[in-house]
Amino acid sequence: MVDTRLAGQVVLVTGACGGIGAAIARAFSAEGARVAVHHFAETPPPSGVAWEHAAFPPEVAVELAGELGDAAAVQGDLREPDAPRHLFEEVEHRLGPVDVLVNNAAHCESPDTFDSLTAGGLRRHYEVNAIAPALLISELARRRREGGTPCVVNVSTDAARAFPGQVGYGTSKAALEALTRAAALDLAAAGVRVNAVAPGPVQTGWMDAGTYARARSIVPMGRVGEPADIADAVVFLASHQARWITGQILQVAGGHAL
């Protein structure tokens, strides 16, 4: 049996109500961690824009936290500059100082092409996918306990390399990967590790039968990913077994986009 040494640690998972985020929350809970399940209050998209990410009501976060046991549901709109500070304050009040930060929350909208590009669309992508993770990492570093060795795992995507039709989403995730390396270098002396996982095609309910078949056909390992595939990689990067790993982007994609 591998001892991840995560039992009793406080883990904040942003965007944790469903899909990959919920799988990550459950995986940490299975290791004995105390999990903060983050959710946000959804707002209607502007005219002509569609949100391409799932939205969950607060009761879903509360229900998931109840299933996990030693956990708490915490709310925060990551587009707000003060959200990271308020989020950490609430988690510390309810569970204790954060040991592991998982930046999983993401914004994705359509249209997101060069012929439909708007300043508002770019701003919304970058606020959630790059700026918020940077501020959350900064908050974690400032609140680090004496002798503590907190870590961060960012959730990127294959689209960070190149993904036609996802300009704002893909480039904001590329910024997240650059942030991963920058934070790893800047915070290494303080004992803070920062890594990322980059999922390939994962079925979280967004693929219909045709999309699923096409995605499976382009993955060298012959199958579409499941949320647990990503969650296991995130837990590994946060575990004692990854104690000398920092600044890495781990592709978890069955060979896709190599």
Name the phi and psi angles at 204, rounded to 5. Answer: -120, 20
Active site (annotated) includes residue 169: yes
As a whole number of angstroms, the longest Cα–Cα distance in the chain is 53
CB 152 within 8 Å of CB 195: yes
Buried b (16+ CB within 10 A) or exposed e, 91-105: beeebeebbbbbbbb
DSSP per-residue string spanning 59-70: HHHHHHHHHHSS
Helix then strand then coil, % of the chain, to nearest 5: 45, 15, 40
CA–CA separation, 151 and 89 (whole Å): 18
Residues 6 or more apart in contact with residue 53 via CB below 8 angstroms? 106, 107, 108, 109
Q: Out of 56, 88, 169, 236, which one is annotated catalytic?
A: 169
Q: How far, in Å, are 16, 84, 145, 238 from residue 142 at the CA level?
A: 23, 12, 9, 19
Kind plus residue range of the DSSP H or E element containing 177: helix 167-187
CA–CA separation, 28 and 91 (whole Å): 16
Name the phi and psi angles at 100, rounded to 5. Answer: -130, 130
Give the residue numbers marked as catalytic: 169
